Amino acid sequence: MAELNKYGYIVKLSENALISLILNGLEAYSVYHMNIENKQKKVRLETFGNLFGYEVNLADGQKVYQIEIVNTDTSVKQSTGSVDYNRAAIALKIDTVSSFWPHLEYLGEFHSHPYKDYKKARETKGYYLSKGDRNDLSENSEFWSNCNHRIGLLLTIGPMKKTGSRDAQWIDANKNCVELNLGNYKLWITAYCSYNDKDNMLYTEDNDPLVILDCSALTGLHWEHTVYGRFKVEGRKVEHITANSKGK
């Protein structure tokens, strides 16, 4: 497991991965779960799953983690306040993907935070990792390191009384958490990166300037991750110049 990358991270969430993440989270939140061994069927459950994609190193030292697949685990133990994952399920999926789809690699995991009301999530900043979330990564450092864990995604859900029409946007200046409305659902997606500190795995901070969540399906293309060429036309001649050049 690598140390903290001082040049920063870009977590890119593909549209297909975004759809899967939202569908998995909404089902656990909204639908009565018949597999819960309890006299009372449950809703507003946490869910958990795995992230697959690939890593790219940019020339300026930044790391890009491209998430292509979000896959929920069906063998987890779910409740309204926690979710217990199954190590065997994670190992099975890593083995299967690496064997038959070698262009993809395990990047990390996601889980959800369900709230009865979006205001409570906002007031408590429930769209950030809990102390228990952070402790789990640290206390199970050997397991997660062997999995080559690099990303933690958090999906937070809370209902609104009315349908919201607000466009998706980052909630903080450092752009690692996106807020969006789907009907009368309020959702937040927050990205964290993990790193090794003296053989102890840690997550990056809340609202961390080193982490950017790039989800262009929600927020559009907002920046250049590397220097991009500029073009200018002089008569019939089209000349390519660099981004740092001055042109009319």
The b-or-e profile of 1-23 (16+ CB within 10 A means b, else e) is beeebeebbbbbbbeebbebbbe
How does DSSP classify residue 243?
T
Which uninterrupted H or E stretch holds 19?
Answer: helix 15-30
pLDDT band at 237 (very low <50, low <70, confident <90, very high): low
pLDDT > 70 in the chain, percent: 89
Predicted confidence at residue 166, as pLDDT, reads 76
Predicted confidence at residue 48, as pLDDT, reads 95
Predicted confidence at residue 193, as pLDDT, reads 98
How does DSSP classify residue 205?
P
pLDDT of 246 above 50: no
Q: Which of 171-175, 193-197, 211-215 has the lowest mean pLDDT?
A: 171-175
**Structural domain boundaries of the chain?**
9-241
The residue-averaged pLDDT of 155-175 equals 87
pLDDT > 90 in the chain, percent: 69
Q: Report the mean per-residue pLDDT for the chain.
A: 89
Q: How many degrees, rounded to 5, is the angle at CA 76 between CA 74 and CA 78?
A: 110
Predicted confidence at residue 17, as pLDDT, reads 97
pLDDT of 121 above 80: yes
Predicted confidence at residue 240, as pLDDT, reads 54
The b-or-e profile of 53-68 (16+ CB within 10 A means b, else e) is beeeeeeeebbbbbbb
Residue type, 207: N
pLDDT of 80 above 90: no
Q: Output the pTM of the full model.
A: 0.88
Predicted confidence at residue 235, as pLDDT, reads 58
Predicted confidence at residue 247, as pLDDT, reads 39
Q: How far apart are CA 229 and CA 207, in angstroms?
A: 31
Give the model confidence (pLDDT) of 21-77 as tens digits. Answer: 999 999 999 887 766 665 555 788 899 999 999 999 999 999 999 999 999 998 988
- The domain 9-241 having CATH identifier 3.40.140.10: the answer here is yes
The residue-averaged pLDDT of 133-145 equals 96
